Amino acid sequence: MRQLDRQINAQFYERAALSKNKSAMLLKGEKPRPGDAVSADEEIRNPLVLEFLNLKDEYSESDLEAALIRYLEAFLLELGDDFAFVARQRRLRIGHEWFRVDLLFFHRRLRCLVIIDLKIGGLVHADVGQMNLYCNYAREHWMKPGEHPPVGLILCTDKDDALARYAMDGLGSKMLVREYLTALPKESALAAELARTRDLLERQAELRRATRGKSA
């Protein structure tokens, strides 16, 4: 029941319908979570629906950042529960170079900083390297006693799952990539995707029942 309540509150099935990798998302949603254990992957919603920003068809990363700050309360609610805003354009110096973190949050239940890097296009491997740099620096210089290591969150308009997996595999930092939508799909399109998602879920359930029947 707790698992179902969590999925309903997070609009899990609506987000699954919007996701490009429905099978993986539905499989993840079926796994029970022991007690009150939390993970960054489950606490940060996917995809993020940011239609409330009212962005035009063409916008820059600075436009996106400014809109997120302007509608900070709505953005925090869309991200998930227990996020607290820390800083915007937080500066850090590594060697002789200066860098800026787009947005910095703290997650109360995860007890860690969440570093957000905003991208207006699809994910490229350099984005992962840059985020790993930020996470390593934050772990050494920004982390407080009793906190867990920072989590890096890259927000982009298109995520290539294979590219993300190979780019992030083996890195010491916890990083997530989330797609965002700046407009809601039409009601008819969303209804069709929900129907396809429901059919996929029913087929997976039938397959599991058949597998259990053979092993009985």
Evaluate whether 174 touches 149 at the Cβ level (below 8 Å): yes
Is the torsion defined by CA of 129, 48, 183, 196 positive or negative?
Answer: positive
* 38: confidence class by pLDDT, cuts 50, 70, 90: low
* 107: confidence class by pLDDT, cuts 50, 70, 90: very high
Is the torsion defined by CA of 8, 12, 13, 15 positive or negative?
Answer: positive
- Give percent of the chain with pLDDT exceeding 70: 73
Q: What is the mean pLDDT of residues 96-102?
A: 95
Question: Beta-carbon neighbour count of residue 140 at 10 Å?
Answer: 8
Residue 104: φ, ψ to 5°: -130, 125
Residue 166 has pLDDT above 60, yes or no: yes
- Lowest mean pLDDT, pick from 28-37, 63-72, 207-216: 28-37
- Give percent of the chain with pLDDT exceeding 90: 42
Evaluate whether 152 touches 130 at the Cβ level (below 8 Å): no
Identity of the amino acid at 120? I
Domain boundaries, the chain: 2-210
- Lowest mean pLDDT, pick from 32-41, 49-58, 63-72: 32-41
**What does the longest C-alpha to C-alpha distance in the chain come to?**
65
Closest by Cα among 2, 6, 13, 15 to 199: 13
Evaluate whether 134 touches 89 at the Cβ level (below 8 Å): no
pLDDT digits (tens, 9 = 90+) for 109-161: 999 999 999 999 999 999 999 999 999 999 999 999 999 999 999 999 998 99
This prediction has a pTM of: 0.67
| Position with higher pLDDT, 129 vs 17 | 129
Q: Is 156 helix (H, G, I), strand (E, B) or coil?
A: strand
To the nearest whole number, what is the mean pLDDT of the chain?
79
Identity of the amino acid at 5? D
Q: What is the DSSP string of 62-119?
A: HHHHHHHHHTHHHHHHHH-SSEEEEEEEEEEEETTEEEEEEEEEEETTTTEEEEEEE-
Q: What is the DSSP string of 177-199?
A: EEEEESSPPPHHHHHHHHHHHHH
Assess if CATH 3.40.50.300 describes domain 2-210: no
How far apart CA 84 and CA 117 sit, in angstroms, is 16
pLDDT digits (tens, 9 = 90+) for 167-204: 999 988 899 999 988 876 566 665 666 666 677 767 77
Evaluate whether 131 touches 117 at the Cβ level (below 8 Å): yes
The per-residue pLDDT for 46 is 74
Residue 6 has pLDDT above 50, yes or no: no
123: left (phi over 0), alpha (psi -120 to 50) or beta: beta
Identity of the amino acid at 146? G
Residue 162 has pLDDT above 90, yes or no: yes
The per-residue pLDDT for 187 is 61
The per-residue pLDDT for 50 is 83
- 59: Cβ–Cβ under 8 A, 6 or more apart, which residues? 67, 120, 182
